[in-house]
Structure 1
Amino acid sequence: MIEMIKAIVLGIVQGITEWLPISSTGHMILVNELMPLTVLADVAANKEFVDMFMVVIQFGSILAVLLLYFHKLNPFSPRKNAYEKRSTIDLWLKVIVAVVPAGIIGVLFDDLIDAYFYNPITVAAMLIVYGVAFLVIENRHRRPSVTSFDKMSYKTALAIGVFQVLALIPGTSRSGATILGAVLLGCSRGIAAEFSFFLAVPVMFGASLLKLIKMKIAFSLATASVLLVGMIVAFIVSVFAIRFLMGYIRKHDFKAFGVYRIVLGVLVLAYFFLIK
């Protein structure tokens, strides 16, 4: 029962932090550090399961995007005219182009990234660095030139994809890196956030599939139940988190998230250097 409660907490954290630019992976690592998920008795097998859980639970968050943006992402919707259908296909092609850089780097260096960067100190450092970046960029924010996906070029989409590569380092935030990159490239906050959501679908699905393929332990009722609960909770919470973010950025900028990242990063460093 206690492990189910931990899975629920992790699902809540995943659902909130995946879409806000504050690093879901970073928060998941930190929460698991404070309340470790222990589903399997064997230490090595449990570590492998937890590593997989941290990634595959994101599938619940993907479903939230598909639910909320089903019409916008569906090129075959009978409610769309021919122009709208072509625009939707064009949007998907831009997403695919933007996915390529992180997809290549992720597949080639996934194990090295896991081995060297999945630790609280890296997370804290990246929280602070990109928190400062948000404040700097927002202070220099100019009138956006890309206010719709039709105005986004394939070159811009690819450049946003390059920014997404930065998010392979835990603590960076996939949404944070892509939103920052998109804003720097002239996208409005709304377009930057939505494109970040859409990029998450193939990226997170691919990452989840890769982790499942690499997992060497067999699923039991206990492991499957914990994973399923985490995914369901992440899905429900993600729906509310996405709606909150889109409503928030209509009236505010991203400075609050930058301040939050810096404060959290400092607290994490203080915990691991002064307390633990």
Structure 2
Amino acid sequence: MDTYQLLEAAFLGLIEGLTEFIPVSSTGHLLLAGHFLGFESTGKTFEVLIQLGAVLAILSVYFARLWNIATALPSDPGARRFVIGILIAFLPAAIIGVMLHGFIKEVLFESPMLVCITLIVGGIALLIIDRMTLEQRHTEATEYPLSLCLKIGLCQCLAMIPGVSRSGATIGGALLMGCDKRSAAEFSFFLAMPTMAGAFAYDLLKNIDRLSADDAAIIGIGFVAAFISGVFVVRGLLNFVTRHGFAPFAWWRIVVGTLGIAGLMLVG
């Protein structure tokens, strides 16, 4: 391990935190950046494990609200329904993630061209959804019906394909099912916590015997960078999407995907 590797880890961690909660695919950005930088992590664990830094960013910003929900569980049916809804939304991705873990890490994560294509296709889809006139029947993330939570959870499964974007799939699906932009983004925040924590725990369990002290140092640097940059995104994203919608992220996806394809064609 050298200084250059640590700087790469910090840079990639910064990318993770900046892109995890916006619908542009943090994993897709990490895989493309890692490919062009020549960055290789043991078992592609770095790209998964540093997501815990982004999870802690949500916890730090939403701690008071989460604490209120937790303390209300024994007496408030609404709080219990919300927690059950998040767990229901989490289950489809958890099941499919465990079943297809090897295929995802060994095949999909090794396909930068696939990432570029899904970035572009997802960007076009997001542009179309953002411009549609949709009925807004659900405006409070904590009051989504359980059936809606399950449908959003099924949409999240699309993000098993790198480049699709976990937040993009959940937010886009929620918008199509009658949620407003702000609550859709907020529900995606809440759903990220069990989803990313689960991915962290499972990937660590599968690869812990392969990780060295150098791997731990690199992951730690990326973790801290992801946490710091994630805090800034979580604090500002809801107001941004309320004012500007998701079109800026859609165009970003298309530009990055197009540049990625050009780069792969030029340098491989």
For normalisation by structure 1, the TM-score amounts to 0.90
Aligned counterpart, 1:142: 134
Contact 2:142 2:187 in 1 (8 A): no
What is the deviation of 1:115? 2.5
Q: Which runs of 5+ in 2 are unaligned?
A: none
Q: Could you give the per-residue CA deviations for residues 55-113 of structure 1, whole angstroms, max 9, x where no partner exists?
A: 01000000111111122222344xx6987x43332211110000111111111011112
Counterpart position of 2:18: 16
| Structure 2 counterpart of 1:71 | 64
Partner of 1:257: 249
1:98 match: 89
**Are 2:55 and 1:62 aligned?**
yes
Give the distance between the partners of 2:19 and 2:264, measured in 1 at CA. Answer: 22
Task: Please give the alpha-carbon distance, in whole angstroms, between the structure 2 residues aligned to 1:109 and 1:76.
Answer: 32
Cα 1:81–1:166 change in 2 (3 A) is: closer
Bigger mean CA offset, 186-195 vs 66-75: 66-75
Q: Is the 8 A contact 1:55 1:207 kept in 2?
A: yes
Distance (whole Å) between structure 1 residues aligned to residue 237 and residue 7 of structure 2: 26
Q: What is the match of residue 237 of structure 1?
A: 229
Equivalent residue, structure 2, for 1:201: 193
Aligned Cα root-mean-square deviation (Å)? 1.8
Give ranges in structure 1 of 5+ residues lacking alignment. Answer: 39-45
1:183 aligns with 2:185: no
Matches within 5 A, 1:38-187: 47-48=42-43, 51-74=44-67, 75-77=69-71, 85-118=76-109, 119-149=111-141, 151-187=143-179
Q: How big is the shift at 1:228?
A: 1.2
Equivalent-residue separation in structure 2 for 1:273 and 1:35 (angstroms):
16
Counterpart code for 1:124: C
Q: Distance in 2 between matches of 1:81 and 1:165?
A: 28
Q: Which has a greater percent of helix?
A: 2
Count residues with an aligned counterpart. 264
CA-CA distance at 1:254 after TM superposition: 0.6
1:111-144 Cα distance to aligned partner (Å, 9 max, x none):
1122221221110111011101011111213241
2:92–2:154 Cα contact (<8 Å) kept: yes
- What secondary structure does 2:148 align onto? helix
Q: Taking structure 1 as reference, are residues 226 and 252 closer, same or farther at Cα in structure 2, changes over 3 Å only?
A: same
TM-score (norm 2): 0.93
Tell me if structure 2 keeps the 8 A contact 1:73–1:88: no
Structure 2: how far apart are the matches of 1:54 and 1:150?
A: 30
Where does residue 204 of structure 2 map in the other structure? 212
Structure 1 residue matching 2:23: 3-state secondary structure: coil
Q: Distance in 1 between matches of 2:115 and 2:210?
A: 30
Which letter maps to 1:98?
A
- Per-residue CA distance 1:208-237 (angstroms, 9 max, x = gap): 111111115454432222111111111111
In structure 1, how many angstroms separate the alpha carbons of the residues matched to 2:141 and 2:231? 22
State whether residues 72 and 88 of structure 1, in contact with CA within 8 Å, keep that contact through their aligned partners in structure 2.
Answer: no
CA contact under 8 A between 2:21 and 2:234: conserved in structure 1?
yes
Contact 2:13 2:222 in 1 (8 A): yes
Cα deviation per residue 1:126-178 (whole Å; 9 max; x = unaligned)? 10111010111112132411011354111110000010000000000000100
Do the aligned residues in 2 keep the contact of 1:21 with 1:175 (CA within 8 Å)?
yes
- Sequence identity of aligned pairs in percent? 37
**Partner SS, residue 243 of structure 2:** coil
In 1, distance between residues paired with 2:34 and 2:250? 23
